[in-house]
Amino acid sequence: MEKKTREKQYQIIIDHYENKGLESFGLMSSQGWLDDPKRLVFTLSRYKFVAKMLSGCQNVLEVGCADAFGTRILLQEVARLTAIDFDPLFVEDVNKRMSDRWPFTCITHDMLAGPVLGSFDGVFALDVLEHIRSEEEDIFVKNMITPLAIHGVAVFGMPSLESQIYASSISRAGHVNCKTMPDLKIFMQKYFHNVFTFSMNDEIVHTGYHKMAHYLFAVCCSKR
């Protein structure tokens, strides 16, 4: 018996399910949805902000994609995207779930070992820099922006140092290099002539008092 929704505009939902099945979470997003559902909302909001900052880019590099659950949001705004992670378990999961409607390249690569081959007009890293030890952060950023075009844009997002007393145990275990906003800007100015910083609380990006921000963004351009 054919299933029909009571309101005909929703029939596409049933058709999609019968033809394609259900979309699935990745390794990290699944755990987050189980243990802390609200976290998924502001995680995806970070991807939306990056998507708007890089809108119109022709070739974008995501560094530290984990399960790349939010990467699809970028694909609504950019022409092509390559996502990398140094953990092959995440990359395997991403490629198993790859959608033929939203395709992108996902490969295993350790940015500390060297830059990615190719040329990109946009690069970004969300929730990555805080996992890089301070003695390795320069080589990480240098390698990350080596393939960035001279007029390209880089976006970095990370939790603020001030937020760490409220961080989850999982987060605290991996966060070895959180920064204040002034320190993040000074660090990025080593590599870019123009650095614009923003605060974020929950899903809201703003220019409010940085010490009360849970999350920080640095939008960088004009590579030195």
Whole-number Cα distances in Å, 88 to 66, 85, 131, 140, 149:
9, 7, 17, 19, 27
At 107 the three-state DSSP class reads strand
Superfamily of chain region 10-223 = Vaccinia Virus protein VP39 (3.40.50.150)
**Residue ranges of domains in the chain:** 10-223
Tell me: the pLDDT tens digits for 48-97? 999 999 999 999 999 999 999 999 999 999 999 999 999 999 999 999 99
Is the whole-model pTM more than 0.85? yes
H/E segment holding residue 85? strand 81-85
pLDDT tens across 208-224, in order? Answer: 999 999 999 999 999 99
Helices 37-53 and 27-35 sit at what angle, rounded to 10 degrees? 130
**Cβ atoms < 10 Å from Cβ of 111:** 24
